[in-house]
A and B are shown apart, each in its own frame.
Chain A
Amino acid sequence: MSAPARQDIILAGVGGQGILSIAAAIAGAALKRGLNVKQAEVHGMAQRGGAVQSHLRLSADRIWSDLIPRGGADLILGVEPLEALRYLDYLAPEGRIVASSKPHLNIPDYPDLEAILGEIRKIPGSVVVEAESLARAAGTARAQNIVILGAASRFLIVDEAGLRENVRGLFEKRGESVLAANLKAFDLGRGAV
Chain B
Amino acid sequence: MPREILLGDEAVALAAVHAGLSGAYSYPGTPASEVMEFLLAAAAGGGFRAAWSVNEKTAFEEALGCSFAGKRALVSFKHVGLNVAADPFMSSALTGAGGGLVVVSADDPGMHSSQNEQDSRFYARFAQIPCFEPADHQAAYDLTREAFDHSEKVGLPVMVRLVTRLAHSRAGVEIQAARPANTLRLGSRRAWTLLPSNARAQFRRLLDLQPSLVRYAEASPWNSLDLNPADRSLGIIASGIAANYVRENRSAGPDRPSLLQLSVYPLPEALIRELVAHCRTILVVEEGYPFIEREVKGMFGLPGKTVLGKLSGHLPLMGELTPEAVRAALGQEPLPRRDTAGLKLAARPPQLCLGCPHGDAFKALNEALEGFPGGNVFSDIGCYTLGYFAPYDAIDTCVCMGASLGMARGAAEAGVFPSVAVIGDSTFGHSGITPLLGAAAVDANMVVVILDNGTVAMTGTQPSFAAGGRLLRIIEGVGVDPARIRVLTPLPKNHRENVRLLREEIARPGLSVVVFVRECLEEAKKKTKTGGLS
Contacts and interface: CB of A to CB of B under 8 A. Distances in A.
Given A65-B323, A71-B335, A119-B343, A45 B113 contact: yes
Contacts of B352: 48-49
A44 B386 CA distance: 13
A117 to B, nearest CB: 11
Interface of A: 14-15, 21, 27, 31, 36-51, 55, 63-72, 82-83, 85-86, 88-89, 91-93, 106-111, 115-116, 119, 123, 170, 173-175
A71 B458 contact: no
A70 to B, nearest CB: 5
Interface in B170-205: 170-172
Interface of B: 5, 7, 30-31, 33-34, 112-113, 165-166, 168-172, 241, 244-245, 247-248, 322-324, 327, 334-341, 343-353, 383, 386, 390, 458-460, 530-533
B171 A46 contact: no
B168 A48 contact: no
Given A46-B350, A48-B352, A119-B340, A82 B247 contact: no
A51 B347 contact: yes
Main secondary structure of the interface of B (DSSP, over half): loop
A44 B343 contact: no
Contact of A37 (B170, B324, B337): B170
A21 B532 CA distance: 11
A65 B112 contact: no
Instruction: Please report whether the interface of chain A is mostly helix, strand, loop or mixed according to DSSP.
Output: mixed
Given A43-B168, A70-B322, A174-B532, A107 B340 contact: no
Nearest to B390: A108
A92 B247 CA distance: 20
A70 B245 CA distance: 13
A55 B460 CA distance: 21
A43 B386 CA distance: 16
A83 B348 contact: yes
A41 B164 CA distance: 9
What 3 A-B pairs are tightest by C-beta distance, nearest first?
A71-B335, A173-B531, A44-B30
A114 B524 CA distance: 38
Contacts of A86: 345
Given A46-B113, A67-B165, A109 B350 contact: no
30 contacts: A14-B348, A36-B172, A37-B170, A40-B165, A41-B168, A41-B170, A42-B112, A44-B459, A46-B112, A48-B351, A48-B352, A49-B352, A64-B245, A65-B245, A69-B327, A71-B334, A71-B338, A82-B345, A83-B348, A88-B340, A89-B337, A89-B339, A93-B336, A111-B343, A115-B343, A116-B343, A119-B343, A123-B338, A174-B530, A174-B532
